[in-house]
Amino acid sequence: MKNRNIKARTHLINRNGCVARDLALPQGERRENILYGSLSDEQRRLRVKDRATLRAGWWRATGGVAPQSQNAVAMLFRRALPAASHRSAHPVPIYEMGSKTLGQSAADLFIRTIIRHRFRLFVLAQVCLAFSVATPTTSNGGQALSDNATAESDMTIPVDGRWSPTGNLHTGRVIHTATLLPSGLVLVAGGINSASVESRSAELYDPATGTWTATGSLNEGRFYYPATLLPNGKVLVEGGDSISGERASAELYDPATGTWTLTGSLNIARQLHSATLLPDGRVLVAGGFSNGFIIGSVELYDPATGTWTFGNSLSIERFTFTATLLSNGKVLVAGGFGGIGTLASSELYDPTTGTWAATGNLNTPRVTSAAVMLRNGRVLVTGGLNSDGITPSAEVYNPNSGTWATTGSLNTERYAHTATLLRNGTVLVAGGLDSHGISSSAELFDPVSRSWIATANLSTARYQQTATLLPNGAVLVAGGHNSDFTVTRSAELFKQR
């Protein structure tokens, strides 16, 4: 029987909206090889020269939606990856198909191709939004948590929330950061702007007036970076990406003066990493992507000296994972993308010993998921992308047992979404990309019934946006890509009645 061809309209869309080529590949084609980061001289001669254009685009398979295992085709450009002194002694595989057919492996190839060519793609979505920082509930960082603990058991869950527009951002932006300041204002900074370049601008949202005011600009524009509120009220940003490559610089925002000042630079430039405020006031930076390699290196920032020092590396190199400060002071890292593909592994960082230890694996490997710590001290992880496509699954990590347990699935599968813990203990998930494209849907997780309840849709469908819980209990959603894949200035508020 003749091989049938999959005719997938595979778009390379650059920042000007230009569409590149179609590609037809045999459905039954198999690959047995493993391609590593070290390439031959011939492959080096064939490297793609127009790096800026490639970095600017993203892949969209049939219909312009997220990659699905049977309809996405990955275009494999050959490109040399530069050597790096911090690379693992064992090469990290860029892609690995084994004996899978192209159709079965398309989603993994999709992501690995992104890594090889450093595209700014929606599959590498909102690393910063996935990072959850929680304050320990006792002086020693511990929290009594029984195996059946449900601190929310007496809650009444209102589901009739509504979204309402608020003031527009001065600068449309995506893959930026948003930080709630002690004053109640929200600092939004960086990202990619509507001109498709990294932004230096920053602005403040005032919940009392629903308006944005410009504040001091970053010294260096950046995107795919985290922002951390320090105990002294300043905001630390470090690393990230730009058109010219990964950043090593770090800077501090002072709300008192409205200005950014440079502080000590990272030892290793990186993007798509995590940054977690530790109980002792230091900031733990882990993993990421640097100079063509997935990295596992760790650095610690000391606000007292403004310097970075190396810590013990992650057990597994990864990027676009979730990192959550637990009530016991440890940091839980889960999922993400590594050399072998989408990861299910998790590990714990103990700041008292400075070491990492393996903990229970996720039931579902996932990348570009979102994590939030519940009021009972457990961690909820939702959605994401893996080799099977977009997952609607959700699971909860129990720090006492060190295990993950599946909970009710999302009503809508999604990735590149936001997840926000509300004051009543429920979790609001909104937006992202689903199997139909950019989503406007939102839903609430009830930790008592462990189920999801649909709530009102966003006024504007969006992904790679930020979501910030305000002191008044409302959630501010700002920026992102909207339904026509353009960067939006719009912002809106979610309120429960």
Token pair 């993308």 is found at 337
Q: For 30-44, 197-211, 225-239, 317-331, which range has the lowest pLDDT when averaged over its residues?
A: 30-44
At position 295, the amino acid (one-letter code) is: I
CA distance 255 to 35: 48
CA nearest 161: which of 467, 457, 450? Answer: 457
Tell me, what's the pLDDT at 158?
59
Bigger pLDDT: 59 vs 299: 299
CA distance 465 to 175: 7
pLDDT, mean of residues 143-154: 37
CA distance 169 to 185: 14
Whole-prediction pTM: 0.75
φ/ψ of 102, rounded to 5, equals: -60, -40
Tell me, what's the pLDDT at 17?
29
Q: How many CB atoms lie within 10 A of CB 216?
A: 16
When pLDDT is cut at 50, 70 and 90, the band that residue 157 belongs to is low
When pLDDT is cut at 50, 70 and 90, the band that residue 484 belongs to is confident
pLDDT, tens only, 181-216: 999 999 999 999 999 999 999 999 999 999 999 999
pLDDT, mean of residues 321-327: 98
* Cα 386 to the center of its chain, rounded Å: 14
Tell me, what's the pLDDT at 278?
98
Name the segment(s) of the chain with CATH classification 2.120.10.80.
128-495
Mean of per-residue pLDDT scores for the chain: 76
Tell me, what's the pLDDT at 31?
26
Which helix (H) or strand (E) element contains residue 110? Answer: helix 102-117
Which helix (H) or strand (E) element contains residue 155? Answer: none
Token duo for residue 43: 């492959």
Q: How many CB atoms lie within 10 A of CB 327?
A: 20
CA distance 120 to 261: 27
**How far apart, in Å, are the Cα atoms of 14 and each of 11, 19, 51, 485?**
9, 7, 12, 11
CB 196 within 8 A of CB 174: no
Q: Is the pLDDT of residue 260 over 60?
A: yes
DSSP string across 192-233: EETTSSB---EEEEETTTTEEEEEPPPSS--BS--EEE-TTS
Q: Is the pLDDT of residue 82 over 70?
A: no
CATH number 2.120.10.80 is the correct assignment for the domain at 128-495: yes
